[in-house]
């Protein structure tokens, strides 16, 4: 019942920027953590960034000082601003959220379908 939809991916040259967005919809929700992960072909999915409901952030060492994560609690959206992109940033980027369904008090953890980011040399 909880659905995540990512957008904003595309093709960009090294040194360029992209801004990814993720919107969360479904039943009445209390969203806690929101984060971004990425996966290149033949590789494991890796952590990129996370933000708590109180706007505390954390980043993987590989993206620190280049990426910034934001969230809007009123609309249950999370965004990832990516600057100074490198070819090694190429991959499918996935949004992940966790929280509780207010009507049932059940916890949930959900992934989106992903948005492709390709950085050329």
Average pLDDT per run of 10 along the chain, which is 121 residues long?
A: 94 98 90 96 96 96 97 90 98 96 93 98 93
- For 32-67, b/e burial (b = at least 16 CB within 10 A) is ebbbbbbeeeeeeeeebbbbeeeeeeebeeebeeeb
pLDDT of residue 118: 98
The pLDDT assigned to 112 comes to: 97
51: closest CA among 112, 109, 96?
Answer: 96
Quick one: pLDDT at residue 3?
Answer: 94
pLDDT value for 70: 96
What's the pLDDT score for residue 32?
Answer: 94
Residue listed under structure tokens 């969360």 = 24
Give the pair of three-digit tokens for residue 111: 């992934």
């Amino acid at each position: 019942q909880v659905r995540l939809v990512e957008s904003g991916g595309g093709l960009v040259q090294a040194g360029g920027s992209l801004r990814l967005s993720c919107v969360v919809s479904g039943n009445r929700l209390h969203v806690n953590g929101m984060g971004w992960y990425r996966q290149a072909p033949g590789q494991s999915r890796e952590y990129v960034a996370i933000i708590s409901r109180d706007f505390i952030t954390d980043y993987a060492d590989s993206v620190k000082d280049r990426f910034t994560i934001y969230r809007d609690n009123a609309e249950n959206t999370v965004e990832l601003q990516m600057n100074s992109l490198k070819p090694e940033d190429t991959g499918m980027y996935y949004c992940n959220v966790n929280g509780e369904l207010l009507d049932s008090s059940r916890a949930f953890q959900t992934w989106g379908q992903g948005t492709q980011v390709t950085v050329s040399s």
